[in-house]
A and B are shown apart, each in its own frame.
Chain A
């Protein structure tokens, strides 16, 4: 299974951009890159996903390296509510949506 590597923790100041990195050097051509986050005492929440091109939605942007061996989740203006554990997950086509969570990155947002 393709695996991902993320920093254990990161800190950010409120209203500043945050760049959360993820390495996935063994990614295959049919793996989608998904990002989820988990706020305290809640279930995981979908953030964004992509395959090859950069993606934007109302929550965040996803920048995918040209060789697809790494990606970066960008929160444009961090708020206190963005404090959570962020998970970068590879999801293969035709693999029954079998999603494997790692340890993720714990993001702390300082006021």
Chain B
């Protein structure tokens, strides 16, 4: 069973559309994250949630809205998609929101392409 699973794996859509990426973890972790990896391959954290509460919110346009219905899920909704949103988005999870001593487990990514 996949520990952190994201859907869809690929997402091709037009500029201006609204889309969602779903993430689920079956590890029993209490903290989940979204990262963005751009074309230059730099990975940047976007958000983190601990027990369904927003903990980290980096400088991300407010067109991006994470939603955590429960501890096992953290979905990412993006409004009014722009060309610059094309990237690979990774979901991750870990146990413990403030520890520094816990590894993060990553999904395989969602490759978003904006036409």
Whether the pair A98, B90 counts as a contact (CB closer than 8 A) is: no
Whether the pair B42, A43 counts as a contact (CB closer than 8 A) is: no
Whether the pair A96, B106 counts as a contact (CB closer than 8 A) is: no
**Chain A min CB distance to B96 (Å):** 7
Instruction: Decide if A76 is an interface residue (CB 8 Å cutoff).
Output: no
Whether the pair B90, A97 counts as a contact (CB closer than 8 A) is: no
Q: A44-B90, A46-B104 are in contact. Are A85 and B45 (CB under 8 A)?
A: no
Whether the pair A43, B109 counts as a contact (CB closer than 8 A) is: yes
Number of A-B contacts (CB under 8 A): 71
Interface residue SS majority, chain A: loop
| Cβ contacts under 8 Å, B69 to chain A | none
Interface string of B79-107 (1 = CB under 8 A from A): 00000000000101010111111111111
Q: A85-B41, A103-B42 are in contact. Are A97 and B106 (CB under 8 A)?
A: no
Whether the pair A97, B43 counts as a contact (CB closer than 8 A) is: no
Whether the pair A46, B45 counts as a contact (CB closer than 8 A) is: no
Instruction: Decide if B77 is an interface residue (CB 8 Å cutoff).
Output: no
The count of chain A contact residues (Cβ–Cβ below 8 Å) is: 28
Docked complex Cα distance between A32 and B44 (Å): 19
Instruction: Decide if B31 is an interface residue (CB 8 Å cutoff).
Output: yes
Residues 11-42 (chain B) with a chain A CB within 8 angstroms:
31, 33, 41-42
Whether the pair A93, B100 counts as a contact (CB closer than 8 A) is: yes
| Cβ contacts under 8 Å, B100 to chain A | 30-32, 91-95, 97
Q: A43-B92, A44-B90 are in contact. Are A97 and B44 (CB under 8 A)?
A: no
**Chain A min CB distance to B34 (Å):** 12
Docked complex Cα distance between A19 and B106 (Å): 25
Whether the pair B90, A43 counts as a contact (CB closer than 8 A) is: yes
Q: A93-B98, A95-B100 are in contact. List 11 more A-B contacts (CB 8 A).
A: A32-B100, A42-B108, A49-B103, A85-B41, A87-B43, A93-B99, A94-B98, A96-B98, A97-B33, A97-B102, A98-B45
28 contacts between A and B (CB under 8 A): A30-B100, A36-B104, A38-B43, A41-B109, A43-B92, A43-B107, A43-B109, A44-B104, A44-B106, A45-B106, A46-B103, A46-B105, A49-B101, A85-B41, A93-B98, A93-B99, A93-B100, A95-B98, A95-B100, A96-B55, A96-B98, A97-B31, A97-B94, A97-B97, A97-B102, A97-B104, A99-B104, A103-B42
